[in-house]
Amino acid sequence: MAVEKFSVIAIEETSYWAEGLLESKGIEAAFGMYLIRHGEATHICSFTPNSWCEWIHNEFAYDGDDEAAHDWAGEAMHEGGESDYFGYMDPEKMDKRFVGLTFTVEVEDALTPEGRETEKYHDAIWEAASELAREADNNGNLFPDIASLGTYREYQEELAAKRRAENRPPLAPPMLDLFWVAAKRLGIDNYEGARGVGWL
């Protein structure tokens, strides 16, 4: 008997929506809910691995007392999403607020006599996992905590505090490519060099 672990994860996709749309509907953030297999890494023309993420639906962070936002979120739940490869993600190491339901799938060895690295095996485990995820979704047992407005705001506050604590000088690495090119053309190799040409 082969056992595989899957999780439902949230990926913030607020920027994918038309500018101003979510705000006009009372929505603070949008997330795609995806099913992901632990440890599955696929190399797509690159040395770095990617994760296959099977889209389930959208979730939105909004004030629960806002009935208009609630109604719109329900209508937009199944709009626009699609399954795709993303940069490699390990649910075991992700911020737990972005990880929802985690469950295991058991596959009879008889289904894959050639081994676990076959297409037949891969299809069998993903089919079983998708069915379990749909069942859990119908029972409301799927969502990562980040999709709630309070948790999302708490997370944003933590990010802002972290950025303030870093307090990096303007030309300290990593810098945007545009600034790096400009600095190189002026012969500036470091932050202290910027002072010498009157930048700072």
> Which residue, 156, 149, 157, 155, is CA-closest to 69?
149
Extract the tokens encoding 163.
């950025």
User: Where do the structural domains in the chain lie, given as residue ranges?
Assistant: 2-157, 169-200
Tokens encoding 55: 């889209």
- Each residue's pLDDT tens digit, 2-51: 789 999 999 999 999 999 999 999 999 999 999 999 999 988 888 899 99
User: 72: how many CB neighbours lie within 10 A of its CB?
Assistant: 19
Residues ≥6 apart with Cβ < 8 Å to 95: 146, 155
pTM of the model: 0.79
In tens, the pLDDT along 105-160 reads: 987 766 555 666 678 888 889 999 999 998 888 777 788 999 999 999 999 999 99
Q: Say what percent of the chain tops pLDDT 70.
A: 78
Residue 189 has what pLDDT? Answer: 55
Dump pLDDT digits (tens) for 162-171.
888 887 665 5
Across the chain, the runs of DSSP E, i.e. the strands, are 2-12, 27-37, 50-62, 84-87, 99-107
